[in-house]
Structure 1
């Protein structure tokens, strides 16, 4: 028996209906299953392609990169009829790590940041921030997206780690306990209550 305990991932497996090569090692994909179902978006594959040697030919050969197709019922992206492939789970992870100008604007609103404050927090010029917002469909540099995710995680780590805010926990502590069938006093946190 194995001592390694694996966790079951309840998310549905992602699948891609179609894929089209774009410039700068990006692809346009249409999702038909998974957490991004129904979306058509441009995903920047450059971090994966530049990281692994197996993809080295894709870096310099544009014609090879344009041989892109969705394969194995949408479970992989493949080039040159299967000579090179990439799991769609990798593509999904890369899509989750990126941010568009529209996503960035939502980030500013969610965190009550002005453009000048965002520039200061992210170490960018105000002009950079304005350029990000001016192009709602453009993909921001990966480092900016990851910095934004980190900013939100630092701002409210309790919610990132446990799925509920610290304020909800304080409200929970103030509640009067209830008595169960055995006569014991119990209180359930709102995040663990059954509907």
Structure 2
């Protein structure tokens, strides 16, 4: 009646030790400068790697209630500034946008990657289930769902793979 487990017993969830496993650190894009663009609801952003993008944030500003003051006031929109550590841009204590979100928008608008909607339309055109798309792209089903929901940015290699599969 001991609590001793057999040497052949499976480890319990959470009870296994992982030694020697190195998880790569995600390097978040950082914003070094920001200013309102000449066109309404656009931001000129300079990134820590030296890139600069003009990002159209009108979709977000017009969609989410938290940005309503920015819709009403160009003067408030023009007061945009870089947040702490370049992790976001801020207009007030209540209004901000993360660097990750702005980076993803910049990539989509530059045509470097797909938008979540374009990714979903591709999958539906091909009549792929989540599982079929995952197998075709060499990623997990969960990652396909994340791409469609906009929870994870779609890597360039995945965007290119969708184009290649479109021709197949």
TM-score (norm 1): 0.45
2:98 corresponding residue in structure 1: 87
Q: 3-state SS of the aligned residue for 1:93?
A: helix
Q: Residue by residue, what CA displacement relative to the aligned partner does 1:31-82 show, whole Å, maximum 9, x if unpaired?
A: 01xxxx21011111111111211001101200110110001111010003x3
Structure 2, unaligned runs of 5 or more: 1-12, 15-22, 113-158
Q: How does 1:77-116 map to 2 (within 5 A)?
A: 77-80=89-92, 82-99=93-110
Q: Residue by residue, what CA displacement relative to the aligned partner does 1:73-127 show, whole Å, maximum 9, x if unpaired?
A: 11010003x3311111110111111027xx8xxxxxxxxxxxxxxxxxxxxxxxx
The reply on whether 1:30 has 2:38 as its aligned counterpart is: no
1:53 corresponding residue in structure 2: 65
The reply on whether 1:156 has 2:156 as its aligned counterpart is: no
Q: How does 1:1-195 map to 2 (within 5 A)?
A: 11-22=26-37, 23-32=39-48, 37-80=49-92, 82-99=93-110, 154-157=162-165
Structure 1, unaligned runs of 5 or more: 3-7, 104-150, 159-165, 167-195
Q: Residue by residue, what CA displacement relative to the aligned partner does 1:147-182 show, whole Å, maximum 9, x if unpaired?
A: xxxx95553139xxxxxxx9xxxxxxxxxxxxxxxx
Q: Which has the higher contact order (CA 8 A, sep 6+)?
A: 2
Q: 3-state SS of the aligned residue for 2:68?
A: helix
Q: 3-state SS of the aligned residue for 2:86?
A: coil
Q: Provide the aligned C-alpha RMSD in A.
A: 3.1
Structure 1 residues 12 and 50: CA distance shift in structure 2, 3 A: same
1:174 corresponding residue in structure 2: none
